[in-house]
Structures are given as structure tokens and as C-alpha cells.
A and B are shown apart, each in its own frame.
Chain A
Amino acid sequence: MSAAILIVEDQLLIAWHLRELIEAAGHEVTAIATDTDEAIAAAGRRRPDFALMDIRLRGQSNGLDAARVLYETWGVRSIFLSANLDPQTREQALTLDALGFIGKPFLSTQMAAALERAVEETRGAQGD
């Protein structure tokens, strides 16, 4: 069973890598958003099963803000991705029922494993 995943990442090369990994695992990318507003708009157009959320986004945009709106509006949870996962960031993310944390730099295998865990965990909540 395949999942629909929203990528929120302002580095397009990394977003492309993520898309390849998601599609190679047989899942679908609903959209690639590069800042908070785009992420919220994309989730509004098509609701993902979960989001892959970079924390530091374009401009002053913060992935935690986007994740909060996604979670509080539609119950969409996120896997958080960052080069700097400090304790405060983790703490805030945990209040949004985070699906996981991936530190940059990540390896394909590491990301693929996190995706599969998230797909498993969100499976029950889909399509209701």
C-alpha cells in the first residue's frame, strides 16, 4: 500500500533526492514546497499522509511553524529533517507528535528506513 508524502525542503537538490527515495519505495510525492506558506497551501490542495519537513527553510521560514499548522488543521504529522536538531527543536517537534528525526547529512538507507517506519505508523490513520 503506497503513501502520499509532502516534501518541504528549500534545497531543491535534496528535495529531488528525497523524491527519488520516496518513489523508489513505491510511494507518491504530493508536492515539493520550499517554505511555510507553500507547504500549507500544498497540504490544503492535497492532503498528504505525512510530511517530510526540513526545519530551516527559505528566508526566515521555519518548518516547525508549517508542521504545526499541518498537524493542528489536518492532523498531518511530520518526519523532521535538519542539520541542527538541538534539544529545543526536538522538544517543540515532539508536541506535534513527530514521526521521527533525521539529521543532515543523511544516507539513502537511513532515510528509506525512516520513511518505512512512518508509512507503517500512519497507515491506520489513512483515508478516514
Chain B
Amino acid sequence: MPSTPEVILNVNDNEPGRYATSRILHRAGFKVLEASNGKDALRIAREDLPPLVILDVNLPDISGVEVCRRLKAGADTSTIMVLQMSATNIAVADRVQSLAAGADSFLVEPVEPEELEAVTRALLRLYRSEESLRLALAERELLLKEVNHRVKNSLQLVLSLLSLQGQEFQQAGERELFERAIARVAAIASIHERLYQDTDPLSVEMHTYITGLCAELARACVDDAPDAKLLAEVENVRLPTEQGVSIALIVNELVMNALKHARPAKGSAVVSVRLVRHDNDALLLTVTDNGGSHGTEGDEGETQSGLGTRLIGMLAQQINGHLDVESSENARIARLVFPSQIIRPCQPPS
């Protein structure tokens, strides 16, 4: 028993009945607040947040069952325990109705003082144990938030370190290779941005992830291809985080290549990324550009595109996907079909 007495709100419009209950509770060492109607009961419950309300079913204004329903629906009052009591509405259907409306227990009046005290103590025990669980959960959430903060901060240190290292390279080719490495790390790192905003850390919403990634890639390539257009059309699907990271890395490789090498004969380069449902069991990723000098012999980025190609192949294998690339003078289309493990379709925010 805490050193300060537990507070109980006793609601009953019948004065002798209310007095009798309050007397029992006082004698048992509780502090008692009283209300004689539903409106006052709701007001006092919201103001004082007692752990327990003892609630008569028959009240002059709002029925006790409705008062209970409102308490359980209120953001602040939903954790309050409700003991419903009645001398008249005591048929099985009445008791069931009260409990269905959210009451935690029901007593038929008249009630023996010992029983009222015992039930009161049982409900207060339940309230305290629920309260400690709520606190533990809140602590866990704080811890998770903290861990996430650390992860993102560490990833920032990695990216900052790599960026500073990159400045040591004097030759343009070397520098570019290093920038590609940074972009790969960034594609992996950026998933953490999405995960924390989200309620579910085990899956990632692909639309924001891939469109965000494409925006970064477009920004990064401004020096190489200032007129290039990058279009992204990504369906609102949630995929398991691991699969999501693989897809992001594949998009990263294909788009970096396309932006680097797409040099159409006329006009500026246009690269488009699409991720859509292929059929019931599969998704289709396509990265299309409007032609250019991919994989030309003696290209200075040859080794690099070698690594890129191997990475794409390995990642496609990782997600059991099938990749084919069609190249012509006017277009190059990479198509990847992979078995989808869609968690659930995302609902548009209402």
C-alpha cells in the first residue's frame, strides 16, 4: 500500500447508498471522491484521474454504462479501472452489457463490506501492474529512439569520413570511383531515415524510399549531366527491410550507370525508374534510359561498371529475381522481376 491513500471516485445518485459505500472505503483506508450524476463523474474523473471509479448503473442524466464507455474511450481516462454496481440492473444481460462497455468488474448490491473491499483492492492491484507495464513500455520506446539516434549518427560519421577521404584523391577517375562507393553506402544508410519515421521497423514503404533515393541521385549527377531528367514511379508497397535495401542498391547501380552514360543523340538524357506489381506473386522493377554509350570498350569507368554489374547480379540473386537488359541505339531497358513479399498495401493517409 502506497504511503498516500489511493483515491477512489464513488458515483451514485442514491445518497444513503453512496454514503454506505464511501464509509466502507474510508474504513479500508482509501480517500473517496463522490459524484451523484454522470456529468460530474466524468468531470471529476478527468480532473483527478483516480485509479478506480465505482459506478452505479442507474444515474439521473447519463447511464452508468455510457459513463463507463466514455471513460474507457477518453485518452486520459482509458486506464481508469471501473467497478460497476447495481441493485436493480442485475440480470445476466445487464451485467454482460456493463462488462462489454468496458467495466472491469460488476457487483450486485447489496454487497458485503469485505467483498467490496477485496474487489477494490484487486482492481487497484491490476491498475498498478498495468501502470508499471505502461512505464516499462515508454522506457523501451525511449531506448529504441536513442539507439536509432546513435545508429544514424554513426552512419553520418561514416559518410563524413568517406567524404573527407574522397578529397584526398587528385585524379578525376579515382575520385569518381570513391564517390560511387559513398553513394552505395548512402543508399544503405538512407533506409534508416525511413525506418524511424515509420511505425513498423521490419518493413519499408518503397514509394518514399525509392523516390527519395532518386532525388539524391539526381542531385549528385548535376555536374555530369545537368539536363538529365530522372523520373520515378513507385507503387505504394511495403517490403521487408532486407529486400528493400537490396532493391535500393540495385536502383542505385542502374541509375548511376544510366545517368553517367545515357547520352542520347538528340535532346537530354531521360532515365525512368518504375516499381510496379507484375502479377500476384511478383514485382517488376524497370530502369529505362534513352540511349547512349553504355559499356563502350575502353571506357575509363570499365572496372567500375564491372563491379556495378557484378553487384546487380549478386543482389538480383539475393532476392531470387530475374534480370534481363535490352540495349538498342535509342534505349536501354533493365527489367528485374522478383518474387514479392509485400507486407501489406500502404493505405494513403486519410
Most chain B beta-carbon contacts within 10 A, residue among A11, A56, A83, A103: A83
Residue A17 interfacial (CB < 8 Å): yes
Q: Closest Cβ of chain A: how far from B184's Cβ, in Å?
A: 12
Contact present for A104 and B220 (CB under 8 Å): no
* B36 close to chain A: CB less than 8 A: no
* A13-B157 contact given A20-B164, A105-B186, A107-B216, CB 8 Å threshold: yes
> Judging by beta carbons under 8 Å apart, are B192 and A105 in contact?
yes
A95 at interface by CB-CB < 8 Å: no
User: Within 8 Å of chain A (Cβ to Cβ): is B159?
Assistant: yes
Q: Which residues of A contact B220 (CB under 8 A)?
A: 107, 109
Query: A14-B156, A17-B160, A104-B156 given as contacts; is B149 within 8 A of A109 (CB)?
Result: no
Residue of A14, A17, A108 with highest tally of chain B CB at under 10 A = A108
**A85-128 interface code vs B (CB 8 A; 1 in, 0 out):** 00000000000000000011111111001000000000000000
A residues 1-26 in Cβ contact with B at 8 Å: 11, 13-14, 16-17, 20
A11-B157, A83-B152 given; A109·B163 CB < 8 A? no
Contact of A16 among B145, B164, B183 (CB under 8 A): B164
Contact assessment for A107 and B149 in the assembled complex, using a CB-CB cutoff below 8 Å? no
B219 close to chain A: CB less than 8 A: yes
Whether the pair A105, B190 counts as a contact (CB closer than 8 A) is yes
> A105 and B152 in contact (CB under 8 A), knowing A14-B157, A16-B164?
yes
Interface size on B, residues (CB 8 A): 27
Q: Does B196 belong to the interface (CB within 8 Å)? A: yes
Closest B-chain residue to A107, C-beta based? B186
B residues less than 8 Å from A105 (CB atoms): 152, 155-156, 158-159, 186, 189-190, 192-193
CB-nearest residue of chain A to B154: A105
Interchain CB contact under 8 A, A83 and B153: yes
The answer to whether B156 and A20 touch across the interface, beta carbons within 8 angstroms, is: no
**Assembled-state Cα–Cα distance A20/B156 (Å):** 15
Are B193 and A103 closer than 8 Å at their CB atoms? yes
* A83 close to B156 (CB less than 8 A): yes
With a cutoff of 8 Å between Cβ atoms, the chain B residues found around residue A73 in the complex are: none
Most buried by B among A13, A17, A105, A110: A105
Query: Which of chain B's residues have a CB closer than 8 A to the CB of A109?
Result: 216, 219-220, 222
Q: How far is the CA of A14 from the CA of B220 in the complex (A)?
A: 20
| Cβ-closest chain B residue relative to A112 | B219
Question: Within 8 Å CB of A17, what residues of B?
Answer: 159-161, 163-164
10 closest Cβ pairs, A-B complex? A83-B152, A17-B160, A105-B155, A105-B156, A104-B156, A105-B189, A109-B220, A109-B219, A83-B149, A83-B153
- Show 30 A/B contacts (Cβ-Cβ < 8 Å), sorted by A: A13-B161, A13-B164, A14-B156, A14-B157, A17-B159, A17-B160, A17-B161, A17-B163, A17-B164, A20-B164, A56-B149, A83-B152, A83-B156, A84-B145, A84-B148, A84-B152, A103-B193, A104-B152, A104-B153, A104-B156, A105-B152, A105-B155, A105-B158, A106-B156, A107-B159, A107-B182, A107-B216, A109-B216, A109-B220, A113-B219
Interface residues of B (CB under 8 A from A): 145, 148-149, 152-153, 155-161, 163-164, 167, 182-183, 186, 189-190, 192-193, 196, 216, 219-220, 222
A residues near B, CB below 8 A? 11, 13-14, 16-17, 20, 56, 83-84, 103-110, 113
In addition to A14-B160, A83-B148, A84-B149, 10 A-B residue pairs with Cβ atoms within 8 Å of each other are A17-B163, A20-B167, A83-B152, A104-B152, A105-B155, A105-B190, A106-B156, A108-B182, A109-B219, A109-B222
